[in-house]
Amino acid sequence: MSGPTSWWRCACIWMSRLIVSTRQRKVLALDDVLGDLKEGNGPTDGGSWLVEVCDALTDHASEFIEQLHDRIIDLEDDLLDQQVPPRGFLALLRKQLIVMRRYMAPQRDVYARLASERLPWMSDDQRRRMQDIAERLGRGLDEIDSCIARTAIMSDEIAQIMQESLARRTYTMSLMAMVFLPSTFLTGLFGVNLGGIPGNSWHLGFSLFCLMLVVVIGGVAWWLHRSKWL
């Protein structure tokens, strides 16, 4: 199963010695049962056919849930390393989980109903198997609920990481402005423009002014570092 988009409606008709199933698209669970029938290992009556189909559906659903669970674990590991997933990736993952839960919840109820009904074409052993399938699907639903809750937590964590990153950038820009503010003040004070600077007739005037700027900037940087702002 590649995902929730692989789930399609399948209509079935039971007769005494005939089962007719129709489908709009390819259903992997039916293909699995059909493959077993071709190999001579498939169901022998209507009850066993239904159990095998439900079991195959649950197997594919459990496999896809496990894949989503592994992706969530990878995302959690990336967040621990301050690595944010691409935009929309987490929303798509959450949407897949919600869609799966939407279809699996009534499916679990139908399985439980089939296990409790005394249908004449289902044996006691088949009803027990159907009950096991319903319980397995219920555990899958619990796992989906857990994954949905974890995606919500990751969404909050991503928002916090983005806010911290923005705050760090703003803080860095503020520090850079504080470092270069004295040099801007001095250049304006001494009239460093196209008209030159005081003492420009002296050959060391410009060099001395640059040295003074370096000292002032270094002093401001040292003060910021001492104040633990850097």
82 in the Ramachandran plot: left (φ > 0), alpha (ψ -120 to 50) or beta? left
Query: For the residues of 12-52, what is the DSSP string, one character each?
Result: EEE-SS-EEEEESS--HHHHHHHHHHHTT-S-SSHHHHHHH
Is pLDDT of 204 > 80?
no
- pLDDT given for residue 138 in this prediction: 94
Per-residue CA distances from 214 to 34, 74, 186, 201, 220 (Å): 82, 48, 12, 21, 10
Residue 225 CB partners (closer than 8 Å, separation 6+):
none
pLDDT, tens digit, 9 for 90 and up, residues 8-45: 567 778 765 777 877 777 777 778 888 887 887 878 78
Output the pLDDT for position 146.
Answer: 94
Q: How far apart are CA 98 and CA 96, in angstroms?
A: 5
What phi and psi values does residue 56 have, to the nearest 5 degrees? Answer: -65, -40
pLDDT of 2 over the 50 cut:
no
What is the chain's percent helix, strand, coil content, to nearest 5?
70, 5, 25
pLDDT beyond 90 at 149: yes
Determine the pLDDT at residue 187. 67
Residue 160 pLDDT greater than 50, yes or no:
yes
Q: What single DSSP character describes residue 3?
A: S
Tens-digit pLDDT profile for residues 36-95: 878 878 787 888 888 998 999 899 889 999 999 999 999 999 988 888 888 888 999 999
Rounded Cα distance between 158 and 91, Å, is 12
Q: What is the pLDDT of residue 69?
A: 92
The per-residue pLDDT of the chain, averaged, comes to 82
**Average pLDDT for residues 116-130, to the nearest whole number?**
89
If pLDDT is split at 50, 70 and 90, which confidence band does 207 have? confident
Q: Regarding the domain delimited by 4-165, which CATH topology (the fold level of the hierarchy) does it fall under?
A: Methane Monooxygenase Hydroxylase; Chain G, domain 1 (1.20.58)
Domain segments of the chain: what residues? 4-165, 168-226
DSSP for 95-157, please give it: HHHHHHHHHHHHHHHHHHHHHHS--TTS-HHHHHHHHHHHHHHHHHHHHHHHHHHHHHHHHHH
